[in-house]
Amino acid sequence: MTQEEGMPVTGDTAAPAAEQAGTPGGPAMPVGEEKPTSIPKVMGILLVVFGSIYLVASLFSAISTLVSSAFITTIFGLGSTISGAAPPDLAGAVDAMRGVYIVQGLEGLAKAALSAVALAAGIGLMRYAAWGVRLSFWWGVSALAYLVADTGIYIGFIMPATVRFMAIIAGRIGQAVHAPSLGLIGGSMAGMGASGILSVNSLMAVMPVLTLVFMTREQVQKACGAILFRR
């Protein structure tokens, strides 16, 4: 007998109906079985890619700048040995450049640490883990704080020291080749340096801002079982 004739629905006839649940035209899925948002997974993939790239780049930057600090110290020492004591202004500029390279090396290590945190946070988000949401949020806060500090350090210390060093070197070369206008190179570098760091750090801020925006969404926290701020 068929279902229309009053016979009960067997397992063979009930299975296709169950498979149609949640499909267009089929029975609606129960509320408790609602598919979670894919935002954590997408953001997790982006953070893993972002963190991996910048982890390698930051480590390379840190190593190269620290090597540059040792290199300029060695070269300047050899020059002083050959030609005698260096002029005070040049010696001071070289000392400042050593400090610049050391600071940039430390910044590279800080960026590497932040990149490692982003990588770990991305893995947590891909697993829909509550700690992934929390770690991603605080990574975003830390990354923005770092970018603000980095901009201030560059404009307040790195750029003036670099401009001074290049102006002294260019000025001495200009005197040697009778081209005093070379001494003006420092001023042009200052303008380009300030605009450059602002542009780069503004671009770098996009990922932390996106992370903060999405991690504070209720649907993302609910999907991962996380609570950022208790009400």
Lowest mean pLDDT among 35-49, 101-115, 173-187, 188-202: 173-187
Q: What is the pLDDT of residue 98?
A: 83
Distance in angstroms between the alpha carbons of the first and the last residue of the chain: 59
Report d(CA 18, CA 15) in Å as an integer. Answer: 5
Cβ-based burial of 195 (10 A; exposed 0-12, middle 13-18, buried ≥19): exposed
Q: Grade residue 229 by pLDDT with cuts at 50, 70 and 90.
A: confident
CA distance 63 to 55: 12
Rounded Cα distance, 115 and 53, in Å: 8
pLDDT tens, position by position, 22-76: 444 444 444 445 678 999 999 999 999 999 999 999 999 888 888 877 777 666 6
Please state, in angstroms and rounded to a whole number, the distance separating the CA atoms of residues 189 and 212.
Answer: 35
- Give residue 2's region: left, alpha or beta (phi > 0; psi -120 to 50): beta
Q: 161 or 190: which carries more pLDDT confidence? A: 161
Q: Which residue has the tokens 């050391």?
A: 102
Euclidean distance between CA atoms 59 and 57, whole angstroms: 6
**Threshold 0.85, pTM exceeds:** no
Q: Is the pLDDT of residue 92 over 90?
A: no
Residues 6+ apart with CB under 8 A from 221: 133, 215, 227, 228
Q: pLDDT-derived band of residue 198, with 50, 70 and 90 as boundaries?
A: confident
